[in-house]
Amino acid sequence: MKIIIRFIFLVSFVSYSQVGGEKVFSFLNIPTSARQAALGGETLTMFDDVNQPLWNPSTITRYMDNDIAVNYVNYLAGVNMGSVTYAHLINRRFGTLHAGIQYVDYGELIGADEDGQETGNFTARDLAFSVGYAYNIPWTNFFVGANVKVLSSKIENYTSQGLAMDVGILYYSDDLPYAFTAVLRNVGYQLSPFDEVRENLPLEIAVGASYKVEDVPLKWHVTINNLQRWDISVPNPSERQTDLNGNITNQDINFFNNALRHLVVGAEFFPDKGFNLRVGYNFRRAAELKLTETRTFAGITAGFGLKMGKFKLDYAYTKYHPADNTSTFTLHIDLSRRRL
């Protein structure tokens, strides 16, 4: 029974990336912010977005004071995901605290025993609660921050809990058109495993940068991810070739193709206006979900943001496969309408 249940979730996470399912609490690496999703799924330098600290705690600043964001993702195979984030300025001396909740609801699934006989329906869910803080090193443009996360997963009658931490450093100034950051994400420990064997958390090391083009309403975002593991490539089954003797030859992935899979790029048009457009490209997703017989446009993301007074609505469309895609919605609310 346990094997059947866990296999279902391995398959669902593999649809997101090839190393999905190799780690426990893999949902931490799936974006729930529409802005994040529209820019390719892993942007680290959005220092004016209350959702960003879930991925990079060094972006927590006083400009997020009393901002709240509610996010919803209509994910693959009927899975529902979401998050809620909030930031509050304690005082000018101490700084700002950030809190967030992430959840995944897998809905009702069909259980089966080792012989394939159905045993009834069951439910499953993932949950994470985080608290973060960032500190501006005096007389510099450097910010350092950290998140502490409490993790919980449930699959039928099996449960697992864990603790994790994110650590980041950011170089940013209001007077500069560029920003740089480095983040160490999901450093932690599975306190209680589903079975007797503990699993590793989805540790990730990433660096990112952004650049606002002068005299043009355009801002670029670039992320290089999974630096803790150079070879992240897995051959795409659609690239497999079979000769007349039935011998199978898998896709040959060279140094350059593997290097590209670490890269995510995104662009925001009119980033400071009430209405802006966003596009992104995830090279790894594009390489692993493409089909040889048809154009899938996998890896492409797009979205927009619309600001109306103290409210802001973001939307993102993520292309995975001709069979399924995702939509992400975000509602930002400025509870104070005050900026320091």
- Residues 162 and 186: their CA atoms lie apart, in Å, by 10
CB 67 within 8 A of CB 335: yes
How many angstroms separate the Cα of 151 from the Cα of each of 57, 192, 281? 17, 10, 29
Give the pLDDT confidence of 134-170 residue by residue, as tens digits.
Answer: 999 999 999 999 999 999 999 888 899 999 999 999 9
Q: Round to whole Å and give the CA distance between 57 and 44.
A: 9
Question: Which H helix or E strand runs over 69?
Answer: strand 67-74
- Encode burial over 252-276: b for 16+ CB neighbours within 10 A, e otherwise: ebeeeeeeebbbbbbbbeebeeeeb
Q: What distance in Å separates the CA atoms of residue 30 and residue 16, rounded to the nearest whole number?
A: 8
Residue 34 lies in a domain: yes
Closest CA to 59 of 165, 177, 203, 208: 208
Q: Which of 203, 221, 209, 138 is nearest to 170 (CA)?
A: 209
Structural domain includes residue 339: no
Q: What is the pTM of this model?
A: 0.86
Please state whether 231 falls in left (phi above 0), alpha (psi between -120 and 50) or beta.
Answer: beta
pLDDT at residue number 195: 82
For residue 296, the model assigns a pLDDT of 74
User: What does the pLDDT look like over 214-235, one tens digit per residue?
Assistant: 989 999 999 999 999 999 887 7
Is residue 322 in some structural domain? Answer: yes
Q: Which two tokens stand for residue 142?
A: 């450097």
Which is it for the CA torsion 283, 289, 290, 292, positive or negative?
positive
Confidence (pLDDT) at 241: 64
* Cβ atoms of residues 199 and 192 within 8 Å: no
340 in a structural domain: no
Q: Which residue has the tokens 């803790």?
A: 228
Radius of gyration of the chain (CA): 21
Is 268 a domain residue?
yes
C-alpha–C-alpha distance, residues 150 and 321, integer Å: 33
Structural domain contains residue 303 = yes
Give me the pLDDT at residue 78, please.
82
How far apart CA 31 and CA 87 sit, in angstroms, is 19
Note the helical H segments in the chain: 2-14, 34-38, 255-260, 283-289
b/e per residue 78-104 (b: at least 16 CB within 10 A): ebebbbebbbebeeeeebbbbbbebbb
The count of C-alpha atoms lying within 13 angstroms of the C-alpha of 227, restricted to the half-sphere facing its C-beta, is 12
User: What φ, ψ does residue 163 adopt, rounded to 5°?
Assistant: -125, 145
Q: Are 144 and 171 in contact (CB under 8 A)?
A: no
Domain hosting 313: range is 2-334
CATH number (domain holding residue 234): 2.40.160.40
User: Structural domain tally of the chain?
Assistant: 1
Asked if 40 and 301 touch (Cβ cutoff 8 Å), the reply is yes
Residue stretches of the chain with pLDDT short of 70: 1-22, 236-251, 292-293, 337-340
Comparing CA positions, the residue from 104, 172, 112, 175 lying closest to residue 144 is: 172
Beta bridge partners of 281: 265, 300
The answer to the question of residue 220 being in a domain is yes
H/E stretch holding 268 reads strand 263-269
Tell me how many helices (H) and strands (E) the chain has. 4, 16
